[in-house]
Amino acid sequence: MAVELKETIDKRREEIMDACEKLYETLGFQSINIKVISTETSFSRPSIYNYFQTKEEIFLGLLTREYMKWNDALKNITDRDSVMDRDALAGAIAKSMEERKTLLKISAMNLYEIEENSRDELLVEYKRIFKRTIELFDECLKKHLKVSEQKREQIRYAFFPYMYGIYPYAYPTEKQISAMDDVKLSHRDVTVYEMTCQFLKLVL
pLDDT, tens digit, 9 for 90 and up, residues 146-203: 899 999 999 999 999 999 999 999 999 999 999 999 999 998 899 999 999 999 999 9
CATH superfamily assigned to domain 57-203: Tetracycline Repressor, domain 2 (1.10.357.10)
The pLDDT assigned to 90 comes to 98
- Fold category of 1-52 in CATH: Arc Repressor Mutant, subunit A (1.10.10)
The pLDDT assigned to 41 comes to 93
| Average confidence (pLDDT) per 10 residues, the chain, 204 residues | 79 96 96 96 92 97 98 97 95 97 96 97 98 98 94 97 96 94 93 97 96
Alpha carbons 121 and 35: distance in angstroms, whole number? 24
Domain boundaries, the chain: 1-52, 57-203
Alpha carbons 87 and 96: distance in angstroms, whole number? 14
Type of residue at 150: Q
The pLDDT assigned to 4 comes to 67
Within 42-185, where are the H helices? 45-48, 55-78, 86-98, 101-109, 111-116, 120-145, 149-163, 166-170, 174-182
29 close to 90: Cβ distance less than 8 angstroms = no
